[in-house]
Amino acid sequence: MGNELPSSGRGGDRVPIPDPTLLTTQALLQAVGSVRELLESRIEAMEDVQNEKHLQAEQQFELVERQRVEQKKDTKDAVDAALTAQKEAVREQTAASERAIAKSEAATSKQLDQLSITFSSSTADVRRELAEMKERLTAIEQQKVGAKEDRTGLYAAIGVLVTILLVVLAVVGLIAAQP
């Protein structure tokens, strides 16, 4: 009879053999230990997952930072290249402008030289004509006897001289106005 209840000495309380309180406590402690192990392993797994996520986030931040730095460098390089190209274009424009100015100055100088020669030639012609007119006027004055005739010849000679002078000035003005 193995399931007998021994008497505890207190008036009839009997405790079964084996004692269920002891077994229940042991089973409970085992269950609590198992639950603790399970919870600890889950917590550890969650920590591992959290650490992995944290590591991935750090890697992503590092990747984004590297890309930002590379993009910043690329942008700087592009701006530097654009500025260099712009400087070169300005240099080329400046050189082309200087060449055009030099050509224009040379052409203007040549035109001025030609105008000077033409003006000198025209002035010499006018002087010759005036000298001839003076000689003619003197000859006419000597031939004329009356004062009235002297004045008319003088006025005619002056008119001719003024007309020639105006024609020469008009020709010089036209030559000077040509580009």
For residue 104, pLDDT over 50 is answered with yes
Work out the number of other CB atoms within 10 angstroms of the CB of residue 140.
16
pLDDT tens profile 87-101? 999 999 999 899 999
Please check whether residue 111 lies inside any domain of the structure: yes
Please check whether residue 153 lies inside any domain of the structure: yes
Residue whose structure tokens are 């001289």:
161
Please check whether residue 7 lies inside any domain of the structure: no
* pLDDT score recorded for residue 1: 43
* pLDDT score recorded for residue 24: 87
Give residue 84's domain range: 20-177
Work out the number of other CB atoms within 10 angstroms of the CB of residue 147.
8
Q: What percent of the chain has pLDDT over 70?
A: 88
Structure tokens at 76: 């700087």
Please check whether residue 1 lies inside any domain of the structure: no
Q: Is 97 exposed, middle or buried (0-12, 13-18, 19+ CB in 10 A)?
A: exposed
Structure tokens at 54: 């944290």
Please check whether residue 109 lies inside any domain of the structure: yes
* pLDDT score recorded for residue 153: 72
Task: Give the number of domains in the chain.
Answer: 1
pLDDT tens profile 136-163? 877 777 776 555 555 777 788 888 889 9
